[in-house]
Amino acid sequence: MMGAAGRRRSPTLNLFLLGAGFNIDATHEAGPVYGNSIYAGHYRIDCGYPLVADVLKLCFRLDRLPEGKSVEDLFSEAVSSGNYKPLERLVGRLMEADYRLAQKLASSNTPNSYRKFFEELSDAEFLTFNYDSLPEIFLAQLRRWCPEDGYGVPVATERQFGANLPAGARSASLVLHLHGSLCVYAAEDEIRGTPFERVAELIHRGRPLYTFDADSITPCFPGYRRKMSNTGRVGIEERVIAPVPDKNEDLKQAFIRETYAKALSLLRETGTLVAIGYSFNVHDRVSYAPLLEALARSSERTLTIVSPQANEVRDRIAEEYPRLRVEVVQKTVREWAGDSFQVSKDGKSL
C-alpha cells in the first residue's frame, strides 16, 4: 500500500461522497441475520443501517418530527443537556450493522454490489458524513486501507502480536470522516510515569493524539487490537463525532478541521465529486457548503448525484450553485452496480 503523501495522483481519480443512502442495500444483500436466545429461541435480528426516519424511532422513540425541528436539532438538544442515550442507541445500531452486515459482505466469496464497487473503483478516495465503518471494512479486506493514515490524519494503533500486516502499512484509499468516526478518540491528556515511580504526571498535550479503538467491531479489522486510553475508559463523549445541526463549534476539533482541509484539497485537485445516497438536506448545509463551494471553484466543476431522488436533489443544488455541472443517476447502489456504474446516457462509466 502506498502512503497518501507518496501516492501519485491519476487524472482519472474518482472522489466519492457517501451519505446514509449508500448503506441501505447492504441490509438486503447480506440477507437476514438470526440469533438464538434461551427466552425467544431462534429470532431475527434487526440490524440494518438506519435512515433518518429509522433514527427518529430508534433514538428518540418518536414517529414524527416535532414541528420546526430536524433530527439534528434533537441530537443537539440531548447532547447539550448531557443526555447521551439517543447517541448511544445510534452508535449501538451502527456498530451492529458494521459487524453483522458489512463484515459479512466484505468477507463473502459471493459477489455483491458493494464488493464490486470497491474492487472496480480502485483509484478512489472517499468522503463521508456517516459514522459507520462500512467503507473501511471493505477496503481493509482488500488491503487498501489501514487506520494509521487511512483517515487522512495520523492515528495511533495497537497491532496484534504476530499480525500479518506490512511493517510500513500505508493506505491506497483514504476514507475522510467529515463528522468524525466512532472508531477514533482524541487523547488530550496522558499519564506519564513507570510502575516503579510513586507519582505519575497528568500531562496536557499541545496537540491531541488520535487513537484507533474500534470497540465492538475490532474483529472487522484483522491484525489490530483496541488501543485503550491510559487515563481511563473512553466514553461516547470522547469519540471524535459531531452530531449537531450547527457544527461550527464541533468543527473546531482538530481532527475534523484537518479532515475537512484534506477533503477540500482533493476537491480542488480533482474537480469532480460523485455523491451517493446523500440528500444535501438544508438542515445540514453548514456541513456540505464548503465542499460544493470548493468544487464550484475547480476547473471541472462536476457533481454527479446517485440516488433514487437524484432529480429532486439536482434541482435544489443547481439553483444554489449555478456554476456546477450536475449529472444525475436515479439508482440505488445495487441498481447502479448492475448498470456497471454508468454516469451518463451515452454509457460512460466511472
- Whether 7 shows a pLDDT value over 60: the answer reads no
Residue 343 falls inside a structural domain: no
d(CA 328, CA 313): 9
pLDDT over 80 at 26, yes or no:
yes
pLDDT digits (tens, 9 = 90+) for 32-54: 998 888 887 888 898 999 988 89
* Residue located via cell numbers 484483522: 222
Identify the bridge partners of residue 342 per DSSP, sorted by sequence position.
349
- Asked whether residue 237 is domain-assigned, the answer is yes
34 occurs within a structural domain: yes
Q: Is 128 helix (H, G, I), strand (E, B) or coil?
A: strand
Closest CA to 253 of 153, 105, 146: 153
Tell whether 349 is covered by a domain.
Answer: no
What confidence tens digit (pLDDT) does each residue in 193-252 have? 555 555 555 454 555 578 899 999 999 999 999 987 665 566 676 676 654 444 444 444
Based on DSSP, count helices (H) and strands (E) in the chain, helices before strands.
Answer: 11, 13
Residue 20 carries which side chain, given as an amino acid letter? A
Phi, psi of 68 (to 5 degrees): 80, 10
Element of type H or E holding 134: helix 134-141
User: Average pLDDT in the 309-335 region?
Assistant: 96
Q: What is the mean pLDDT of the chain?
A: 85
Print the domain residue range for 305. 14-338
Q: What is the pLDDT of residue 3?
A: 44
Cell readout for 245 is: 445541526
C-alpha 170/C-alpha 157 separation (Å) is 13
Residue 105 lies in a domain: yes
Do the strands 158-159 and 224-225 form a parallel or antiparallel pair, or are they unpaired? antiparallel
Residue with cell 459482505: 105
| In-domain check, residue 2 | no
pLDDT, tens only, 127-182: 999 999 999 999 999 999 999 999 999 998 999 988 888 776 689 999 999 988 88
Inform me whether the pLDDT recorded for 8 exceeds 50: no
Domain count, the chain: 1
pLDDT recorded at residue 252: 43
The cell numbers describing 344, all together, are 451518463
Half-sphere exposure in the Cβ direction for 300 (13 Å, CA):
19
Cα three-residue angle 145-148-150, rounded to 5 degrees: 40
Nearest to 183 by CA among 287, 62, 284, 99: 99
Residue 9 within any structural domain of the chain: no
Can you tell me the mean pLDDT for 68-90? Answer: 86
